[in-house]
Amino acid sequence: MAGQIAELAHRTLVGAYRNIDTRDARIVLLDAASAVLPPFGDRLGSTAAERLEKIGVEVRLGAAVTDVDADGVTIKDGRGETVRIESACKVWSAGVEASPLARQLAEQSGAELDRAGRIAVHEDLTVPGHPEVFVIGDMMARDRLPGVAQVAIQGGRYAAKQIAAGARGRDSSPDRVPFQYRDKGAMATISRFHAVVKVGGIELAGLLAWILWLAVHVVYVVGFRSRLSTLMSWTWTFVGSWRGQMTVTDQQVAARNVMGKLVLLDRGEDDDDTVVARAS
């Protein structure tokens, strides 16, 4: 995410807003961990950190956020010192607990919750005492499985298979084969044309890893037309600097109307019914 914000600040916005000097943008990545992307290992983590710094991201590791307010954040760094960072825009990307639905389910079923509010499930991903209720994804706590999409996808397929068997009258809940997670590796994009990939003992970084990341994600898009439109959209995004997702908000429209009326006042052409900009 830090890399994408840096791309947005230093590349996409250049020339888009004449009143914004993107050189003034400061992106700071705060992480209480001792390395960037710990699951990827030391080598790929160091590569990712170097790439982030190269595109203008300040990487601060061992930095725990202790306070957040409208004007900035307060952190305690690795040396135990308290540091204040002024910021009008903060992005929090750390998940701290499961959906409240998990607690509601636990209260009604008597299931146990872990510290993150996830439900402890059996080997077949069912709630203890309720073989007909499956819990998957971020709400499930089982064998310290990582909270990644592949766990949810594989868990969903497993649960669907068991439910389908029960619907056909072949419910074998007492003898179900336990759910087995297959780790297919991990991928992460750092910036345009740069990613890191770890599959088993294979580690890749840079352009080749980025192309592999694109290919895998296109494969998982459902339908040929969707894949084609995704490829066209990505090609336009990566080749050019403009992003069609950028929109004009109501606040921008209101500000533009006010500025337009000020111009008319200056010219002596005030008209209360004049609308300079209109949301579409």
> pLDDT by residue (tens digit) across 160-197?
999 998 888 876 666 788 999 998 888 999 998 999 99
Domain with CATH 3.50.50.60 in the chain: 100-175
What's the rounded Cα separation, in Å, for the pair 230 and 119?
36
Torsional sign, CA 214, 215, 216, 220: positive
More confident residue, 225 or 174: 225
**pTM, to two decimals:** 0.69
pLDDT band at 10 (very low <50, low <70, confident <90, very high): confident
At residue 175's C-alpha, the angle toward residues 173 and 179, to 5°, is 80
Say if residue 145's pLDDT is above 90: no
> Of the given ranges (9-13, 51-55, 117-121, 240-244), which has the lowest mean pLDDT?
240-244
Q: Name the segment(s) of the chain with CATH classification 3.50.50.100.
A: 2-94+185-239
CATH code 3.40.50.300 for 100-175: no
Question: How many whole angstroms separate alpha carbon 78 and alpha carbon 73?
Answer: 16
pLDDT of 249 higher than 60:
no
Q: Is 268 helix (H, G, I), strand (E, B) or coil?
A: coil
DSSP code, position 174:
G
| Res. 276 pLDDT band, cuts 50 70 90 | very low
Report strand pairing: 57-61 vs 27-31: parallel
- Mean pLDDT (whole number) for 122-140: 92
Q: Is the dihedral of CA 90, 93, 96, 102 positive or negative?
A: positive
Give whichever of 3-7, 193-197, 240-244, 266-270 has the largest mean pLDDT.
193-197
What is the rounded distance in angstroms from the CA atom of residue 2 to the CA atom of residue 30? 10
- The fold of 2-94+185-239 is FAD/NAD(P)-binding domain (3.50.50)
